[in-house]
Amino acid sequence: MIIGVPTEVKDNEFRVGLTPGNVSGLVAQGHAVLIQRGAGQQIGLTDELYRSAGASLVESATEVYAKSQLVVKVKEPQPQECAMLREDQILFTYLHLAPDPLQTKALLSSGSSCIAYETVTSRAGTLPLLAPMSEVAGRMSIQAAASQMEKTHGGPGILLAGIPGVAAAKVVILGAGVVGRNALQMAVGIGADVCIIDKDLDRLRQIDAAYGNRVRTYYSDPLSIEREVCAADVVIGAVLLPGGAAPKLVSASMVAKMKPGAVVVDVAIDQGGCFETSRPTTHSDPSYLVDGVIHYCVANMPGAVARTSTFGLTNATYPFVEALANRGLVAALNHDVHLRNGLNVHRGQLASEPVASAQQLDFIPAVELLAA
């Protein structure tokens, strides 16, 4: 199979879909790999490293898309990339389609088969291709909040950890999944006053067992959320519904009651965000104010630590790339139900129920689409 890796084009996105090590593994199995020149240059993965691993270097994304049977990316394709997809092509990347009807329409129109990293599952019921970036984003959320709290960045001038005689900042984490637990680890390590809110009592018990009275745990209900959010210095939005739009747990009226200068970091922004006042931002313009509350809603947070993120992501995605290359689309998806769960779009048809529900569209289950 011919596998192509274009340079990412999203704002300040320096991750890359395959590492030189991945390339060498694919080439050893008889596949051809096309890498757009400079795709990994910004994170030390030079063209020479890819060439030495057996890749062919091409000048443009147009050439990558024109010649590849399987395109492996990191972020969702931008409009100009959607326009280059074709009917006999496989796209393997993050998609986050639920809050993005324009991208959904473009992918359906392309006729290509699009597999979303974020909906591939595992035997344990987890999301193995989302987890590495959730780990990164969760840890980065506390770094981002700490930076936004500084007066020089427009914040209230509060140190998350406090000092002897001065109270630490209050950090509220909505969601105890992978993002929430990684944010929790960083916040506790810094020395902040932390609470975490979730509906999963088993997760809350695990957190209590690990952290004891260093962390307050609350069962999620509207009153608990409002009480804690309105008293917080920092709120981390870390709620995920696999493949679907994130629930709006914090209303605009609730944001209006928050402390002036409080910081919201909405890690769920890829799926629409869990604050009613959230809208996607970029690394070059990361934050904005609503009712005096700072909103940090960067949709590709792990892109800021692109080298760590690239290796963390490709460690997880490579076995699936290998399966698609070795077996072909239909055989690979029929062989592995977990990879099949990642199929969102196939030859002009929507295969994802959560996306269909979010956008009020019809869908056909992947099993039926592949059988046809």
Active site residues per annotation: 96, 270
- Rounded to 5°, angle at Cα 86 from 19 and 79: 75
Phi and psi at 217, nearest 5°, equal -115, 140
How far apart, in whole angstroms, are the C-alpha atoms of residue 215 and residue 196?
A: 7
Q: CB of 192 within 8 A of CB of 160?
A: yes
3-class DSSP assignment, residue 252? helix
How far apart, in whole angstroms, are the C-alpha atoms of residue 67 and residue 65?
A: 6
Q: CB of 342 within 8 A of CB of 116?
A: yes
How far apart, in whole angstroms, are the C-alpha atoms of residue 115 and residue 17?
A: 14
How far apart, in whole angstroms, are the C-alpha atoms of residue 74 and residue 77?
A: 9
Instruction: Estimate to the nearest angstrom the gap between the alpha carbon of 122 and the chain centroid.
Output: 17
Q: CB of 327 within 8 A of CB of 335?
A: yes
Neighbouring-strand partners of residue 236: 173, 265
Q: CB of 89 within 8 A of CB of 114?
A: no
Residue entry with tokens 């609730």 = 254
Amino acid at 226: E
How far apart, in whole angstroms, are the C-alpha atoms of residue 196 and residue 3?
A: 42
Name the H helices within 129-219. Answer: 131-148, 178-190, 201-211
CB atoms within 10 A of CB 127: 23
How far apart, in whole angstroms, are the C-alpha atoms of residue 227 and residue 170?
A: 12
Q: Token pair for residue 146?
A: 């700490």
Tell me how long the chain is. Answer: 372
How many alpha carbons lie under 13 Å from residue 310 in its C-beta half-sphere? 26
